[in-house]
């Protein structure tokens, strides 16, 4: 893969646009950036906190999961990471006020808070988001970590007009990536700390079922071994789950039956590969965020990605 740009502030949530540019959430910077095909970076909105996963909605707005901000550290060789120490210590900053789901007007840069709680419970750290064909969206909340304790996370479903948000499955140990199968009949969730990918059947908008051992009856699709933590994900046109794999700087491709199709290395000097999306006319261009060194990568993918609902 080639580097499109560097200098991003812990990038996540890539959204490929039809003109070849890519929207990026900068978690450390608190901003939404547009990266043009030539690598030019333009900051278009200030979300505050920690904008994370993002998706275009049916109304043309960008919907952003904001995790409320983090402590930040840096290794001796310049690798940036959230938390007081790499892989341990708290990530909840002193000025933390909670997480939220926000909307961003791409033309004006106006940011609004859509949801800050569910059933009277404060959202802690919304992480990733995907729209279904009916116009609603699934999102995850990973929870915050303090030095001696941490929150559980969950899977949620909400309406883009702010009228309804509901909890579908809880608890998880850092719920992260979320995605839908090509027909929308399965929803997937990546659980970072356990390196598990969970799956549920979708019975209707915001209604899931399963007979597995996971929260809400989640069925275990796959568990990665050797401390390969996982982050956000995307689904390709064949239904494979492409999940960013921390500690090895790669994308792990998991088939709908749970078998690993391949492991695609992205970058040798950055183990914090956080997300992937697909763009281009044939959706064969993969964009991958490598957050620890602030880079966006681009490369041809072996299979076309899944065209997202918007």
Report, in angstroms and rounded to the nearest whole number, the Rg of the chain calculated over CA atoms: 17
Per-residue model confidence (pLDDT) at position 54: 98
What is the CA 110 to chain-centroid distance, rounded?
22
The pTM of the full predicted model, rounded to 2 decimals, is: 0.97
Averaged pLDDT, 149-165: 97
Per-residue model confidence (pLDDT) at position 87: 57
CB atoms within 10 A of CB 102: 25
pLDDT bucket at 310, cuts 50 / 70 / 90: confident
Q: Return all residues near 94 (Cβ < 8 A) that are at least 6 apart.
A: none
pLDDT at 262 over 80: yes
* Coil vs helix vs strand at 216: helix
Q: Verify cis geometry, omega within 30 degrees of 0, for the bond prior to 171.
A: yes
- CA–CA distance from 154 to each of 31, 38, 171, 211, 237 (Å)? 24, 38, 6, 18, 26
Nearest-CA neighbor of 188 among 121, 236, 246, 118?
A: 236
Average pLDDT, the chain: 96
Averaged pLDDT, 188-217: 97
Domains of the chain (ranges; CATH) run 2-300 (2.120.10.30)
Per-residue model confidence (pLDDT) at position 238: 97
Q: What is the 3-state secondary structure (H, E, C) of 4-19?
A: EECCCCCEEEEEECCC
Cα angle 64, 49, 279 (rounded to 5 degrees) comes to: 35
* Choice among 75-79, 113-117, 202-206, 259-263 with the minimum mean pLDDT: 75-79
pLDDT bucket at 86, cuts 50 / 70 / 90: low
Per-residue model confidence (pLDDT) at position 45: 98
Per-residue model confidence (pLDDT) at position 83: 83
pLDDT in tens, 18-55: 999 999 999 999 999 999 999 999 999 999 999 999 99
């Amino acid at each position: 893969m080639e580097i499109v740009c560097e200098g991003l502030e812990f990038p996540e949530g890539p959204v490929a646009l039809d003109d070849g540019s890519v929207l990026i959430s900068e978690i450390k910077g608190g901003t939404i950036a547009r990266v043009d095909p030539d690598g030019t970076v333009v900051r278009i909105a200030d979300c505050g906190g920690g904008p994370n996963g993002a998706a275009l909605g049916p109304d043309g707005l960008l919907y952003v999961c904001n995790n409320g901000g983090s402590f930040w550290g840096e290794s001796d060789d310049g690798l940036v990471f959230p938390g007081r120490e790499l892989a341990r210590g708290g990530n909840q900053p002193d000025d933390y006020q909670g997480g939220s789901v926000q909307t961003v007007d791409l033309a004006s840069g106006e940011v609004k808070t859509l949801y800050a709680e569910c059933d009277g419970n404060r959202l802690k750290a919304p992480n990733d988001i995907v729209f279904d064909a009916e116009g609603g969206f699934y999102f995850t909340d990973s929870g915050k970590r303090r030095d001696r304790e941490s929150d559980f996370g969950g899977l949620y479903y909400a309406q883009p007009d702010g009228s309804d948000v509901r909890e579908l499955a809880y608890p998880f140990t850092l719920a992260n990536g979320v995605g839908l199968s090509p027909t929308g009949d399965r929803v997937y969730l990546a659980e970072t700390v356990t390196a598990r990918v969970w799956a549920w059947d979708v019975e209707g908008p915001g209604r899931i079922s399963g007979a597995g051992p996971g929260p809400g009856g989640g069925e275990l699709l796959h568990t990665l071994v050797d401390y390969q933590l996982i982050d956000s994900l995307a689904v390709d046109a064949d239904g494979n789950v492409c999940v960013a794999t921390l500690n090895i700087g790669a994308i792990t491709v998991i088939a709908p039956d749970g078998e690993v199709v391949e492991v695609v290395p992205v970058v040798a000097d950055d183990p914090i590969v956080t997300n992937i999306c697909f763009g281009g006319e044939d959706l064969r261009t993969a964009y991958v965020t490598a957050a620890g060194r602030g880079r966006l990568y681009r490369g041809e993918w072996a299979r076309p990605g899944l065209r997202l609902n918007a």
